[in-house]
Amino acid sequence: MKTLKILVAAAAIAAGAVPALAQTKPAGQTLAAFQAERAGQMLARLDANKDGKLSRTEFEAMRQKKADGAPAQDAKAQGARAGRGERLWDRLDADKDGFLSRAELEAMAAKRFKRMDADGDGVLTSAERQAGAGKAKAAM
């Protein structure tokens, strides 16, 4: 009889544990966490005057820093790069106020997240982050 009570108790515990396992946190990063992290990182790194938004000057300084690490370009290539910068700014500055707000940076991060989330499950695993690193840079 004692063994039966132990088996019934074990079964009850196991039955209660299954729903708990199904509700565990996903193994990876959600869209909301990704957006908050990326926007926060960009503001911390690029917002020189710490006003909570990126000016065109701050944005161009970031692009120039990236270009300084690239091989030298001729005048035509530099002009094409400047044109891409204009188009990128126009896409990112959705409200056309001349600044990139946290919301606009989070919108950019959402697009990056979508490209990186290969299986479309709404969670970025470490494997997806590594595989999608090049895809993520396509937005910048």
> Which segments of the chain does DSSP mark as H helices, in order?
2-22, 31-46, 56-68, 75-92, 102-116, 126-131, 133-136
Give the Å distances, CA to CA, from 42 to 26, 32, 48.
Answer: 25, 16, 11
> Which segments of 69-101 does DSSP mark as H helices, in order?
75-92
Q: pLDDT (tens digit, 9 = 90+) per residue, 12-69?
A: 555 555 444 445 556 899 999 999 999 999 999 999 999 999 999 998 888 887 766 6
* CA proximity to 134, closest of 116, 121, 120: 116
* CA proximity to 61, closest of 93, 94, 85, 87: 85
State the pLDDT confidence band at 2, using cuts at 50, 70 and 90.
low
Domain at 28-139, CATH from 3.40.50.300, 1.20.990.10, 1.10.238.10, 3.40.50.10800: 1.10.238.10
Separation between Cα atoms, residue 64 and residue 107, nearest integer Å: 23
pLDDT for 139 equals 47
Q: What is the dihedral of CA 69, 124, 38, 66, to 10 degrees?
A: 10
pLDDT for 61 equals 87
User: Is-above-0.75 flag for pTM?
Assistant: no
Residue ranges covered by each domain of the chain:
28-139
